[in-house]
Structure 1
Amino acid sequence: MYTIGQVAKFLGVSRDTLKYYEEKELVKPKYDDENGYRKYNPYDIHDVITTNFYRELDIEIKKIQEIKQSKSVTDLEHVLAEQEAKILEELAYKKRLLKKIKSVKEDYYKIKEHLGEFTITEMKPLEVKGEITEYAAYEEYETIRNSTENLKKAVTLTSARRVIHFDEEGMKEERFIVVRKIEDADKNFKGEVLSHPKCIYTVIEDGRFVNGEKSIDHEVGERLLKIAQDNGYELTGMAYINILLTTYEEGLERVFLEMYAPIK
């Protein structure tokens, strides 16, 4: 027979955990009538080991109680199958999170390399999944949520694109589209596909830390026109703007935007 302290040391669990198992009647050590101490026999220790195993599988206490009261191995099979499905779902979600982290890291490197600079590059294919009135049309965000790989708690705006049309006199019109990146092996798309083989690409900065609450709309077209004029490019008169990353300085947001402007 073993004391609670010995069992805790054997199995690497706390006394509180063992007391909790007792409270939930998952293990029932006998009490020494003389001193009132718990005494664990080998069967009790086995119960603790089994309970720890089920807890490691993230099976809730109520389910473990049901398993212990069951007379059928089939009942355990059902519990394990249910837990397997939950774990597989969680793994799939973790993969989405890892993919999102990788994407954000790539965006960070874009900022380091292209902020205030420009290059000529391809705008890779995007499938148009819908439109929203504007970024602040929060009641329309369901379109964004339904058209991207969902996170559990966050609405991500990286799938929203602001499309502007402009000329030498300034911005003419704009719209906001929701898009999905088309992977190389992806053939399963139904919506309009946007792709431009040659674009002026640059990263610019916005947000209250940089501009207060001032709009930079007039600067966007001017900046693109100047790049084109200085380098002999002919613009099509449109641009796609996407939020890459938002960070904060002195409690005010710094918003980094990437911009693709197709050229002829």
Structure 2
Amino acid sequence: MYTIGQVAAFLGVSRDTLKFYEDKELVRPKQDAENGYRKYDRFDIYDITTVNFYREMDIEIKTIQELRRSKSLSGIRSILEVKEQEVLEDIEYKKLLLKKLRIVKEDCEKIEQCLGTYTIKEMAPIEVKGEMEHYTSYSEYDRLKESTDSLKKAVVLTSLRRVIRFNDKGILEDKFLIVKKIDDDENEKEGHIIAYPQCLYTVIEDGRYSTGGKNTDRYVEAGLRKAAIEHGAELTGLVYINLLLSTYEDGLERVFLEMYAPIK
């Protein structure tokens, strides 16, 4: 027979863990009638190592309790298959999370390199899934959720593209497209595809930290027209604006937008 201290040291588990297993009736050591101390025999050690075995595979205590009550080998296999599927789904989620983290890191580099400068760049293809009048059109958020690229399926404004159509007299149309980035391995696309081989490209900053809450559309438009002249380019009267990154500084939001203006 072994004491709780001996078993804890032998199996590398804490006394609290052994007491927890006992509370959950996963191990049932005998108690000394005289002093009340727990006494563990070799069968108790088998129980503890069995519980540890399944816990190492992240099997829930509730499931281990079911196993203890009685499970055939086919029942055990079924439990393992369910856990296997959970792990595979978690791996896929972690892959997507890693991909997203790397994209945001690249966006940070993009902001550092392109903020306030204009270059000629391709606008990669995007699939249009629908339209919204404005990002505050909450009645249309269900459509946005269906097309979001958020890992948690929360509403994210990165799935929107603000589209401005203009001429020399000013803005003719201002709307928001619900879009989805196109992956190379996608075969079927349901929506309209938009892409432009040549655009004036820049990153601009919005938000109260930089603008004090003022509308900067006219300032941005003036900068765009000036850049077109400097690059010898002719604007087509369209601008696509995408939320690149939002963060905070001194308690005020900093919003970085990337802007594509197709040119001839």
Q: State the TM-score bracket (shorter-chain normalisation).
A: over 0.9
Deviation sequence 1:213-258 (CA, Å, 0-9, x none): 2112222222211111222110101111011111111111000000
The letter of the residue matching 1:118 is: Y
- How far apart are 1:22 and its partner, in Å? 0.1
Q: Which residue of 2 aligns with 1:146?
A: 146
Report the equivalent of 1:244. 244
Residues 19 and 121 of structure 1: CA distance in aligned 2, closer, same or farther (over 3 Å): same
Residues 145 and 155, structure 2, Cα contact 8 Å, conserved in 1: yes
Counterpart residue type for residue 243 of structure 2: I
- How many pairs are equivalent? 264
- CA shift for structure 1 position 131: 1.4
2:159 paired with 1:159: yes
User: Distance in 1 between the 2:60 and 2:71 partners?
Assistant: 19
1:137, 1:112 → 2: CA distance? Answer: 32
The residue aligned with 1:213 is: 213
Per-residue deviation, residues 126-180 of structure 1 (Å, max 9, x unmatched): 1111112211123322222211344226332222100111223322211111111
Structure 1 stretch displaced more, 20-29 or 219-228: 219-228
CA deviation digits over 1:175-198, x for unaligned, max 9? 111111112343221210001000
Cross-structure match for 1:47: 47
Between the aligned partners of 1:98 and 1:172, the Cα distance in structure 2 is: 40
- Alpha-carbon distance change, 101 to 139 in structure 1, aligned in 2, over 3 angstroms: farther
Aligned partners of 1:218, 1:81: CA distance in 2, in Å?
60
- TM-superposed CA distance for 1:71, in Å, is 4.4
Residues 92-151 of structure 1, C-alpha deviations (whole Å, 9 max, x = no match): 222221121111111111101101111111001111111122111233222222113442
**Residue 9 (structure 1) shift:** 2.1
Quote the residue 1:188 is aligned against: 188
Match of 2:253 in 1: 253
Structure 1 runs not aligned, ≥5 long? none
Opposite residue 98 of structure 1, the aligned amino acid is: L
- Secondary structure at the aligned position of 1:162 is classed as strand
Amino acid at match of 1:12: G
Higher mean alpha-carbon deviation, 72-81 vs 205-214, is at 72-81
Trace 1:86-101 onto structure 2 (pairs within 5 A).
Answer: 86-101=86-101
Structure 1 vs Structure 2: percent identity of aligned residues?
58
- 1:1-264 → structure 2 map (5 Å cutoff): 1-152=1-152, 154-264=154-264
Scaled by the length of structure 2, the TM-score of the pair is: 0.94
Which range moved further: 221-230 or 183-192? 183-192
Code of the aligned partner of 1:135: Y
Query: Which is worse superposed, 154-163 or 251-260?
Result: 154-163
**Change over 3 Å in CA distance of 1:144–1:9 after alignment to 2:** farther
Return closer, same or farther for 1:36/1:186 CA change in 2, 3 Å cut-off. Answer: same
Distance in 1, matches of 2:23 and 2:153, equals 35
The 1-side partners of 2:12 and 2:205 are apart by: 53
1:33-67 deviation per Cα after TM superposition (whole angstroms, max 9, x unaligned): 23221122222122112212222322222211111
Between the aligned partners of 1:248 and 1:223, the Cα distance in structure 2 is: 25
Amino acid at match of 1:22: E
Give the letter aligned to residue 121 of structure 1.
Answer: K
